[in-house]
């Protein structure tokens, strides 16, 4: 194995992709679940008001991305479609919500954003419901 090669092993990539998809999906759920609880609590919602949509609607969109879309990513179902709201959410978090914050405050959102872009480009991979439905063995 030449570590300096630009070629890759499709089997290894398929395994890494499913592991990353599952890990990042569950990791994001740890951020989305408290927001879902906040949304369902009935208390006054104090949340970022994106583009004047209102704090509650912005929170609903964020919960959709961080909870619902994460579940679809874990399953590998409509992976690219559900990666898009996650890319948008993390871009807003990194470059708008935390725009004036120090890099350390926006770093996690940028890391998630990077991972979601990779998932958007690669799709669900071989080990996903997307692959089962489409009967594809390759990317």
Q: What is the pLDDT of residues 33-73, one digit of tens each?
A: 999 999 999 888 888 888 888 889 999 999 999 999 999 99
Is residue 21 included in any domain, yes or no?
A: yes
Is residue 116 included in any domain, yes or no?
A: yes
Is residue 1 included in any domain, yes or no?
A: no
Task: Choose among 56, 53, 118: nearest CA to 87.
Answer: 118
> Which tokens in the block code for residue 32?
């989305």
Is residue 138 included in any domain, yes or no?
A: no
Task: Label residue 19 by pLDDT band (50, 70, 90).
Answer: very high
Task: Label residue 135 by pLDDT band (50, 70, 90).
Answer: confident
d(CA 48, CA 24): 23
Is pLDDT above 70 for 24?
yes
How many structural domains comprise the chain? Answer: 1
Is residue 71 included in any domain, yes or no?
A: yes
> In the prediction, which pLDDT does 87 show?
98
Is residue 23 included in any domain, yes or no?
A: yes
Is residue 48 included in any domain, yes or no?
A: yes
- Helices 55-63, 79-92: crossing angle, 10 deg rounding: 140
Mean of per-residue pLDDT scores for the chain: 92
> In the prediction, which pLDDT does 88 show?
97
| Whether this model's pTM surpasses 0.85 | yes
Task: Label residue 78 by pLDDT band (50, 70, 90).
Answer: very high
Which residue range(s) make up the domain with 82?
Answer: 10-127
Residue 1 three-state SS = coil
Is residue 4 included in any domain, yes or no?
A: no
> In the prediction, which pLDDT does 66 show?
97
Phi, psi of 58 (to 5 degrees): -65, -40
């Amino acid at each position: 194995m030449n570590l300096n090669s630009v070629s890759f092993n499709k089997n290894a990539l398929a395994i890494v992709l499913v592991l990353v998809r599952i890990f990042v999906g569950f990791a994001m759920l740890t951020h989305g679940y408290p927001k879902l609880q906040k949304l369902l609590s009935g208390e006054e919602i104090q949340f970022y008001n994106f583009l004047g949509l209102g704090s509650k609607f912005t929170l609903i969109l964020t919960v959709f991305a961080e909870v619902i879309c994460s579940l679809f990513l874990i399953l590998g179902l409509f992976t690219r479609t559900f990666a898009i709201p996650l890319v948008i959410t993390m871009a807003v978090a990194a470059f708008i919500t935390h725009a004036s914050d120090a890099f350390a405050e926006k770093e996690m959102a940028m890391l998630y954003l990077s991972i979601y872009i990779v998932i958007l480009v690669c799709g669900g991979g071989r080990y996903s419901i997307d692959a089962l439905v489409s009967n594809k063995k390759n990317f």
